[in-house]
């Protein structure tokens, strides 16, 4: 059984060409990765299946449940192709977007998304190639948009297009996404990330298709999602601050404020929150990050994010292991700061009104009062553990569950070390098993106090109603 991580924040590492082998995935885990992201925008089904198989092999080697997140591409908008491969957009010139499949030139190009034409009106902005070029609509027709080039530049085939000013009536799940979703579920993905969420209905549609076979994470990368953030978070199991596209559609100076708002609201609702994109961007090419990047990662950890994510740094960069190790080192330094715990509690999570909420909140308070070394939670669905984690307890959380899928999902939850164990039939068995697992994982030693949280009757989801304090003697290591 692998020892728990020392830190509470989790590291989510994206896999790709630089980290596709079992050997490299093993190195990323040893360096500090707790969960692995598979970007469904890239690679073949065979390559993705291989990545998941490697993760499950590593899981058996380490004895630790490992988390797989499948990130769906979503309805990414792109322009068509050019006869010469690219053109130069001149500031102040007119440029037409239409539905003609003829290869484009310096005056026009195909926009193969009919929904865009119905949604846009005069004055709306179009951002091309991650915002490098900006167009403004001056004439709008059902199949043709005449724009003025506000910021020019080189535009090449199939570059991305963002529409920040309107809600585009696009389904959150494209036909490709539905195929990829079925693939991910069939291969045992633990989390499904939904891209370009605009409204809570997008989340509801994906949840219905998932049918409880995986947890659902909503990526916030559209300004329209910010307007209905609370509704989206209520429906999702977790949320990601996806600063790439969010930073294209919002002015860059507004992204930090949006990030703070998303993190704070997710914390208040008890939903895991991941901060992602360009966190250690320079480490794609360099073995060391910039000081600003280090500060960026540290800020997310001080704010109490559940996880921080590496994208191209671990997927396609020259220094994937070093990037994970650096993120791990930053987290260790932040969490060693005497001021860190107070900063994490800059805004207290508002506990719910249920018995389970009260018990979970009390467990953290009791652990602080009596000086317990850990909180052990018996859970079937993981809801008890998530309630304790939302309180940002001062001690590690030991998740004990007979359900492997539940244990695997804990890889994105703050402060949790998950262990799969046989179910318990009675209170005394629960106590003895909790003590034994705390000793085996190194979360406690003889003489330490342990806070137990569970529900009676056992194996019944939603019955969290017991909090109990026990002392470890060190003799509990025998047994099963």
Residue in 277, 379, 401, 464 annotated catalytic: 277
Query: Is the omega angle on the peptide bond into residue 457 within 30 degrees of 0, that is, cis?
Result: yes
Residue in 207, 219, 390, 433 annotated catalytic: 219
Residue in 26, 27, 78, 176 annotated catalytic: 78
Cα-flanking dihedrals φ and ψ of residue 199, to 5°?
A: -150, 160
Spell 181-203 as b/e; 16+ CB within 10 A means b.
bebbbebbbbbbbbbbbbbbebb
Task: Give burial (CB, 10 Å; 0-12/13-18/19+) of 218.
Answer: buried
CA nearest neighbour of 263 among 251, 276, 247, 275: 275
Cα-flanking dihedrals φ and ψ of residue 69, to 5°?
A: -110, 120
DSSP letter at 90?
A: P
SS3 82: strand
CA atoms of 397 and 414, how far apart (whole Å): 9
CA nearest neighbour of 423 among 383, 461, 385: 461
Provide the terminal-to-terminal Cα distance of the chain, rounded to the nearest Å.
Answer: 14
In the residue annotation, 219 being an active-site residue is answered as yes
CA atoms of 237 and 457, how far apart (whole Å): 25
In the residue annotation, 37 being an active-site residue is answered as yes
CA nearest neighbour of 241 among 190, 307, 302: 307
What is the token pair recorded at 251? Answer: 């002015």
The Cα-based distances of 277 to 16, 143, 180, 415 in angstroms read 15, 35, 22, 22
Q: Which residues, including other chains, have CB under 8 Å from residue 60's CB and lie 6 or more apart?
A: none
What is the token pair recorded at 347? Answer: 């805004």
In the residue annotation, 207 being an active-site residue is answered as no
In the residue annotation, 147 being an active-site residue is answered as no
Q: Which residues, including other chains, have CB under 8 Å from residue 371's CB and lie 6 or more apart?
A: 449
Are residues 156 and 184 in contact, defined by beta-carbon separation less than 8 angstroms?
no
What is the token pair recorded at 457? Answer: 């009757």
Query: Any idea which residues carry the catalytic annotation?
Result: 37, 78, 219, 277
């Amino acid at each position: 059984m692998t020892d728990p991580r020392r830190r509470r924040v989790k590291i989510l590492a994206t896999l790709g060409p630089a980290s596709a082998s079992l050997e490299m995935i093993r190195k990323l885990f040893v360096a500090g990765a707790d969960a692995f992201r598979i970007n469904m925008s890239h690679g073949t089904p065979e390559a993705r299946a291989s990545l998941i198989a490697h993760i499950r092999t590593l899981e058996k080697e380490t004895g630790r449940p490992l988390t797989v997140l499948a990130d769906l591409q979503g309805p990414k908008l792109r322009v068509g192709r050019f006869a010469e491969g690219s053109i130069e957009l001149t500031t102040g010139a007119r440029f037409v977007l239409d539905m003609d499949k003829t290869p484009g030139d310096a005056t026009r190009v195909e926009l193969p998304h009919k929904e865009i034409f119905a949604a846009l009106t005069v004055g709306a902005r179009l951002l091309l190639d991650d915002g490098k070029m900006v167009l403004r609509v001056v004439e709008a027709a059902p199949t043709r948009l005449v724009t003025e080039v506000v910021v020019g530049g080189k535009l090449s085939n199939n570059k991305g297009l963002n529409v920040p000013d309107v809600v585009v009536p696009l389904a959150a799940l494209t036909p490709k996404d539905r195929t990829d979703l079925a693939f991910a579920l069939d291969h045992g993905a633990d989390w499904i990330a939904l891209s370009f969420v605009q409204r809570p209905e997008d989340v509801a549609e994906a949840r219905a298709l998932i049918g409880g076979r995986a947890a659902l994470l909503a990526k916030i990368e559209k300004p329209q999602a910010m307007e209905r953030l609370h509704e989206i978070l209520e429906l999702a199991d977790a949320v990601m601050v996806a600063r790439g596209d969010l930073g294209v559609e919002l002015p860059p100076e507004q992204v930090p404020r949006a990030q703070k708002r998303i993190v704070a609201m997710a914390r208040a609702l008890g939903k895991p929150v991941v901060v992602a994109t360009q966190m250690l961007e320079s480490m794609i090419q360099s073995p060391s990050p910039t000081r600003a990047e280090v500060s960026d990662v540290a800020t997310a950890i001080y704010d109490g994010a559940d996880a921080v994510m590496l994208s191209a740094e671990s997927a396609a960069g020259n220094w994937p292991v070093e990037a994970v190790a650096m993120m791990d080192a930053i987290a260790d330094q932040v969490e060693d700061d005497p001021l860190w715990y107070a900063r994490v509690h800059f805004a207290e999570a508002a506990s719910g009104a249920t018995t389970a909420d009260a018990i979970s909140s009390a467990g953290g308070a009791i652990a602080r009062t009596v000086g317990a070394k850990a909180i052990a939670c018996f859970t079937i669905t993981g809801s008890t553990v998530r309630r304790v984690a939302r309180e940002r307890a001062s001690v590690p959380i030991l998740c004990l569950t007979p359900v492997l899928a539940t244990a695997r999902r804990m890889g994105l939850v703050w402060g949790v070390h998950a262990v799969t164990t046989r179910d318990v039939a009675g209170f005394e068995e629960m106590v003895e098993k909790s003590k034994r697992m705390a000793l085996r994982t190194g979360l406690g030693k003889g003489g330490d106090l342990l806070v137990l949280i569970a529900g009676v009757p056992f194996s019944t989801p939603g019955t969290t109603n017991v909090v109990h304090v026990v002392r470890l003697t060190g003799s509990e290591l025998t047994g099963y």
